[in-house]
Structure 1
Amino acid sequence: MKSWVKILIGLFIGILFGLILRENAKIFQIFGDIFIRLLTMLVILIIFSSIVVGICHIESPKKLGRIGFRTIGFYVISTIIAIGIGLVLAHLIKPGQGLEKIRVDMKPSHALTLKDLLMSLIPSNPFKAFADGNVLQVIIFSILFGVAILFAKEKGKPILRLLESVASVMHKLTHFVMMLAPYGVFALMAATIGKIGISALIPLFKFLLCNYIACLIQLLIVFSVALKYLAKVKVAPFFKGMKDAMVVAFTTSSSTATLPVSIECTQKHLGISEDISGFVLSLGSTINMNGGAIGQSISAVFIAQAYGIPIGPVQIIVLILVSLFSAIGAPGVPGTGLVMLSLVLNVMGLPLEGISLVIGVDRLREMMSSVVNVMGDAVAAVFVAKKENAINLKTYHRATWMDSDI
């Protein structure tokens, strides 16, 4: 049985137990809390290894020059746009309304002010930042560490290989933790529904709908504009040429697993050179998560609404920054969205228990988010290849709906 099916079963059984047991369902809360702690346990090492390895994939800044600048610049701008779309829709649709009863029992942690954020960016002791779980300081240190490895050249290679191994191990550990997801979902949903009742169901589906609408806007409008006006190519051949990658991304919920198919599609159907497609897509599978950024921003606002916690301008700035960095630091494998969400909630001063409200439908959210992640990488590849004259436009415009490798 597929893991996402198991999670949905856990969701519905948890809802059923919550409705039947009501207040008595709180006995399951401890198991849900354990699952959340397992997720948060993964955050620091995933961020450190993924960001450092992602930066080092750029290799020599001198060698890559414009390509690296254009690629990263496109990824950052598209991610910020994705976050903005998520924030606007979350405030318009208000998917978290109807869950305000939770706030009676919960006390949010202290939210950072803008001054606090700026003063706390640089760690005085990186080991202390790791031990304390200070995610912003770990992110900044990871960026600096990755750049230092690049300039160390050959002497930095052993550390890079070690961190590549760490990243692989953390991905596998995430897989192990996500094997417990159906049980964690059951416990969290039973306790949540038992506490707040059937009113929790409607916002869950509103939350999912909000994510899908935001992803479609990014996919069909933002990416189309980028192709037409930045890359200056026709839009339809792009979607035709990338259809195989879209199918794989949707069914696997993993942009990393889709990478071989994405590279094949961009080279064979879109006519992009091997060096451009390999570099841009490989880097994008690690640091470009437009769909993930949408999910983080909507989830944070959704949870704040559910707990009755107002979000001011400073918190919006914090959310944009943390969502951007968490999207960069999130490996493209199923389940890591929840791990990254925990750090977003932590920095914003929102209760980590809010994860219980979105975890049941997170796999369904990830399916669409992964499509946006993969397609965002491909749009960047087309843009960079066009600027570098590394795309065969005849091949690009020959792409049809009938071509398929699946």
Structure 2
Amino acid sequence: MDHAVVIGASMSGLLAAAALHRLFGRVTVLDRDTLPTVDAHRRGVAQSRHAHGLLAKGREVIDELLPGLSAELVAQGAIRGDLQRDARHIHGGHRLARGDSGLSGLLASRPLLEGQIRRRVSALPGVRVLADRIATGLLAQDGRVTGVRPADGEPIPADLVVDAGGRGSRTPFWLGELGYEPPREERVVIDVRYGTREFRRRPGDLDGDLVVIIAPTPEHPRGGVALALEDERWIVTMAGYGEGPGLALTEFADYAATLPVLDLHHLIRNAEPVGEPRSYRNPAGVRRCYERLSRFPEGLLVIGDAVCAFNPLYGQGMTVAALEAKVLLEAELRPQAFFRRIAKIVDAPWDITVGGDLKMPGVEGDPTPRMRMVNAYLERFHAAAAHDPELVLRFLRVTNLYDPPPSLMSPAALLKVLRGGAPRAVPVPA
């Protein structure tokens, strides 16, 4: 195979190119943005100014696709830490027990992470990353996509086109142009509103911890995260369902005081702010079910947020994109086989986010009986995990996409939860 074209120099697009360069003689990545020459925010990634989580599994997979990347990031200031020992996890209003998880996290700003990945991918043999190039349509013949039509310039022929164009993917529309049905969409309207500020990081902040994660609860549908970053900074992002924090420093601190615990309030009330505050709004989680289509043109794949855009509060998007990119190396590149493979990757994080979102006030939709059972069980699980590090490790292995969610209900875990959780009746799964 000679030439693959990737639409979008997003994280998913760059990681797809990192995989495809092992299979194709040439890989061309097209992006509509003017790409920065230094590590900087860019227009097409509006969320880059907010906290980003690279899960431990995602870091491992990215190091497989781009060997040595983690070490390069650390050399530029990224911070390693154990995801249980060096982090404060507050879920269901409970402060989870500490311990050594063996799960190695990597803390870096989105511009540093994306910038280093873009540099590495751009340097791969046969790979070109082209800025200011907008794809306006697909070339096709005899049921096969054969290239891309850019807004300016000559058509670009390709043996494979991968759409990594994010939430704004045009593939559903292009399928209609080619005589195919678009995929069915699952949509959960969440209306999550963010506010983010950065602060100077000082010795002794948070007693040396590197991460604070405060998950919202139905009683307090607000949450927040603080991540240590390069250049001795904290990035603090807080969000609520239907409303978010004010960006003025006093309003931001006051909002932190309404979270289920006061860790973020204590951190920022005397901290020195750095840079300008930013807001962001995420209206909905969206999944496009390509795996359910009976007809789809050969030579076209879709990946990343163009397939499933999660509620970003859960920090799963980059890791799912990395896992999907790895599938490009592991499976045949026929669309239906590829979409079935990545559906299995998407299923668990999608169920986690949707189940969590539907229990929040104001989120449209009714949780299924199974979701209600899981949510009730998780309340007991988090209560028990407040004093059981082994349960916390099980939870982190699920949220970091190592283990499937049912592992939280193994006989050993179930016994611990029912003995040590909050005194509330929970339906036990059959």
So what's the TM-score if we normalise by structure 1? Answer: 0.28
Greater share of residues in helix:
1
Higher RCO, 1 vs 2 (CA within 8 Å, ≥6 residues apart): 1
So what's the TM-score if we normalise by structure 2? Answer: 0.27
Greater share of residues in strand:
2
